[in-house]
């Protein structure tokens, strides 16, 4: 449902004045050029023509000045309309109400004060705005985005059918006419297949993403029917799934889904996935990972304060880099090599960070303190989090995993409470050791490194588990892993369940080729001083488990 924007009369008048100014600038330039040509062409032998030219030029001057006065008058009318007719559009029809600004707190309070009839009008007439307005309640945005979802599926289905159809009488394949692409478009000739193929691929991918969102929101099985304790997973139910964002205005499709109830949650996690993540390719994996995180966090939260609940927002709300590396030919040699791909480019993170910060401010408006709001990021998404943490103080803590850098060397430069920046770095995760964006995360001053090593743990509900070690880039959020447990503990503030690690211990594990050692601080709470003996020791009870755990490790070269 892509409603065309209805401009208030004030904005319509201002837009007309701006358009008139732009047209006048072009008109003045052409008018001056005409005058210069006339002056150069003037001779005494053509006196009558010279007089006519001068009269014509002066008339043009008068007309241009009058037009400039019209632009000024339009702006004066706009100022008056803003006061007298703020809810009328350029056609004289009444507009639905809007808040005074897009500040999330202003939006929240404005919505709370609207009568039910006005809320229904806004939802019906401003559906796209409602679906993306930070500060509006999650159920309201969900209702709007469900409407957008169905409308977009219908629209994209029609578009992909057209793009997939063979060239017809209106659009025929053939050689490029003289005059280039514009002439080809006028002649109805389809030029080479590449542009059409690219458009078709993008439309098909976004349509696939929309369909997967629909399936997910309906409560379809996603492979995570049990939580980390083996109990039925509440996230498998449709009433625990919310479509918080749907932006189909540009490729790639952007979305954010919520697991849990933002309105009642005591702890809220805002998670940013990494490179190659798109709705069509990674939605199921993302949901599985974050469902596991939510389940683990909910178990540990009971040790902090009984009855606490957790909600997770999976924010695929930015254009993530498409590839980690790409193959490129060396001239005409026939030899190709791998070179860094889009994930080496900070542009995607810089574009995403302010949008993420605004989303966090919206969540904070909906979930005021003491609700705990935690930033979470994996891979390139962790780098996005690093930039966003400079732009907002909405978060109470941040946890990153497999980060190629946070664009800082000091945690104090981020707007977080002291000691509340955590990082999980697996010994065999190449991406986490690259330090592409501001240096290696393990070297950030003031960061707390979470142990990826195997260990036995107990839960507040009485359960016990042997946590598996983590080696590769794709293993941080696997159920039963040491890093999932540590990330969940950091999320809920369960400091007694946190186990820290030193960089030296990870270096030693790398040299030994094992993810099994527990360093001297591995059984020490994060807020306790590290042992002076900073050497990892192998726990004989965990060695067999750790070595067997390596069998399923991921290849970081293919990391996401």
Reduced 3-state DSSP string for 90-144: CCCCECCCCCCCCCHHHHHHHHHCCCHHHHHHHHHHCHHHHHHCECECHHHHHHH
Closest residue by Cα to residue 153 from 48, 24, 246: 246
Q: What is the dihedral of CA 322, 325, 326, 329, to 10 degrees?
A: 160
Closest residue by Cα to residue 519 from 433, 532, 442, 447: 532
Q: Is the Cβ–Cβ distance between 546 and 453 less than 8 Å?
A: yes
Q: How many CB atoms lie within 10 A of CB 264?
A: 10
Taking the C-alpha atoms of residue 204 and residue 197, their distance in angstroms, rounded to an integer, is 10
> So what's the pLDDT on residue 538?
34
Q: Does the predicted model carry a pTM greater than 0.85?
A: no
Could you tell me the CA-to-CA distances from 529 to 102, 126, 412, 448, 486 in Å, in that order?
Answer: 45, 55, 20, 12, 18
Within 8 A by CB and 6+ apart from 366, the residues are: 104, 108, 135, 137, 138, 262, 263
Within 8 A by CB and 6+ apart from 263, the residues are: 137, 138, 139, 366
Could you tell me the CA-to-CA distances from 60 to 20, 25, 26, 31, 65 in Å, in that order?
Answer: 16, 13, 13, 7, 9
Q: How many CB atoms lie within 10 A of CB 88?
A: 16
Q: How many residues are given for the chain?
A: 560
Q: Does the bond joining 142 to the residue before it have cis omega, within 30 degrees of 0? A: no
Taking the C-alpha atoms of residue 434 and residue 448, their distance in angstroms, rounded to an integer, is 18
Q: How many CB atoms lie within 10 A of CB 71?
A: 18
Alpha helices in 165-219 (DSSP H): 180-187, 193-217
The helix-helix angle for 9-41 and 47-84 (nearest 10°) equals 170
Q: Looking at the domain 239-558, which fold is it?
A: Rossmann fold (3.40.50)
Burial state string for 168-198 with b = 16 or more CB within 10 A and e = fewer than 16: eeeeeeeeeeeeeeeebeeeebbbeeeeeee
HSE-CB for 281 with a 13 A CA cutoff: 13
Taking the C-alpha atoms of residue 254 and residue 36, their distance in angstroms, rounded to an integer, is 54
Biggest alpha carbon–alpha carbon distance for the chain: 111
The SS3 assignment for 77 reads helix
Taking the C-alpha atoms of residue 167 and residue 157, their distance in angstroms, rounded to an integer, is 18
> So what's the pLDDT on residue 219?
80
Taking the C-alpha atoms of residue 393 and residue 395, their distance in angstroms, rounded to an integer, is 6
Q: Is the Cβ–Cβ distance between 423 and 450 less than 8 Å?
A: yes
> So what's the pLDDT on residue 530?
35
- DSSP letter at 8 equals B
Domain boundaries, the chain: 9-84, 104-200, 239-558
Strands (E), 290-386: 310-316, 325-329, 336-340, 372-378
Task: Give residue for tokens 């990972």.
Answer: 289
The SS3 assignment for 154 reads helix
Q: Is the Cβ–Cβ distance between 174 and 271 less than 8 Å?
A: no
Within 8 A by CB and 6+ apart from 307, the residues are: none
Tokens of 487: 């990330």
> So what's the pLDDT on residue 233?
62
Q: Is the Cβ–Cβ distance between 371 and 263 less than 8 Å?
A: no
Task: Give residue for tokens 């591995």.
Answer: 522
Taking the C-alpha atoms of residue 432 and residue 430, their distance in angstroms, rounded to an integer, is 5
Q: What is the mean pLDDT of each run of 10 residues along the chain (560 residues)?
A: 68 94 93 87 73 87 90 94 90 89 97 96 95 98 98 93 65 47 45 62 94 89 55 69 96 97 97 96 94 96 94 98 74 68 93 98 97 98 98 98 97 97 95 93 96 96 96 95 98 94 76 52 40 34 35 34
Tokens of 327: 């193959």
């Amino acid at each position: 449902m892509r409603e065309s924007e209805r401009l208030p009369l004030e904005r319509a008048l201002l837009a007309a004045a701006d358009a008139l100014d732009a047209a006048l600038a072009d008109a003045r330039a052409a008018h001056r050029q005409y005058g210069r040509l006339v002056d150069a062409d003037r001779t005494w032998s053509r006196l009558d023509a010279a007089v006519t030219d001068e009269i014509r030029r002066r008339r043009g001057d008068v007309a241009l000045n009058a037009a400039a006065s019209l632009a000024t008058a339009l702006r004066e009318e706009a100022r008056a309309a803003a006061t007298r007719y703020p809810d009328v559009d350029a056609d004289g029809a009444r507009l639905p109400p809007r808040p005074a600004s897009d500040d999330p707190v202003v939006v929240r309070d404005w919505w709370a004060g609207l009568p039910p009839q006005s809320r229904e009008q806004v939802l019906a007439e401003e559906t796209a705005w409602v679906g993306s307005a930070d500060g509006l309640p999650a159920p309201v945005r969900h209702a709007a985005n469900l409407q957008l979802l169905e409308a977009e599926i219908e629209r994209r289905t029609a578009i992909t059918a057209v793009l997939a159809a063979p060239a017809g009488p209106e659009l025929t394949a053939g050689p490029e006419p003289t005059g280039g692409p514009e002439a080809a478009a006028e002649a109805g000739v389809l030029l080479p297949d590449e542009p059409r193929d690219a458009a078709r691929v993008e439309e098909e991918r976004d349509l696939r993403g929309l369909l997967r969102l629909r399936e997910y929101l309906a409560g379809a099985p996603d492979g995570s029917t049990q939580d980390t304790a083996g109990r039925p997973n509440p996230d498998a139910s449709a009433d625990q799934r919310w479509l918080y964002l749907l932006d189909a205005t540009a490729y790639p499709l952007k979305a954010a889904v919520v697991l849990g109830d933002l309105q009642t949650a005591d702890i809220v996690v805002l998670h940013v996935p990494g490179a190659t993540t798109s709705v069509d390719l990674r939605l199921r994996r993302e949901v599985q990972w974050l469902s596991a995180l939510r389940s683990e966090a909910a178990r540990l939260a009971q040790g902090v304060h009984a009855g606490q609940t957790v909600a997770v927002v999976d924010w695929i709300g930015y254009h993530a880099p498409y590839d980690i590396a790409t193959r490129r030919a060396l001239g005409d040699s026939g030899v190709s090599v791998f070179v860094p791909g889009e994930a080496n480019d900070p542009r995607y993170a810089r574009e995403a960070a302010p949008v993420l910060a605004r989303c966090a401010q919206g969540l904070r408006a909906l979930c005021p303190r003491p609700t705990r709001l935690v930033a979470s990021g994996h891979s390139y998404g962790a780098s996005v989090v690093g930039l966003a943490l400079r732009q907002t103080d909405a978060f109470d803590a941040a946890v990153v995993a497999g980060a190629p850098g946070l664009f800082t060397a000091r945690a104090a430069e981020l707007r977080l409470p002291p000691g509340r920046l955590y990082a999980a770095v697996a010994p065999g995760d190449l991406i986490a050791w690259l330090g592409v964006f501001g240096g290696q995360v393990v070297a950030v001053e003031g960061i707390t490194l979470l142990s990826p090593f195997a260990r036995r743990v107990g839960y507040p509900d009485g359960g016990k588990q042997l946590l598996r070690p983590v080696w590769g880039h794709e293993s941080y959020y696997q159920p039963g892993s040491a890093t999932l447990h540590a990330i969940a503990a950091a999320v809920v503030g369960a400091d007694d369940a946190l186990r820290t690690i030193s960089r030296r211990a990870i270096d030693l594990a790398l040299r030994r080729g094992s993810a099994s050692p527990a360093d001297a601080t591995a059984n020490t709470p994060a807020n306790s001083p590290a042992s002076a003996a900073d050497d990892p020791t192998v726990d004989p009870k965990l060695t067999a488990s750790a070595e067997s755990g390596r069998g399923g490790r991921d290849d970081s070269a293919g990391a996401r």
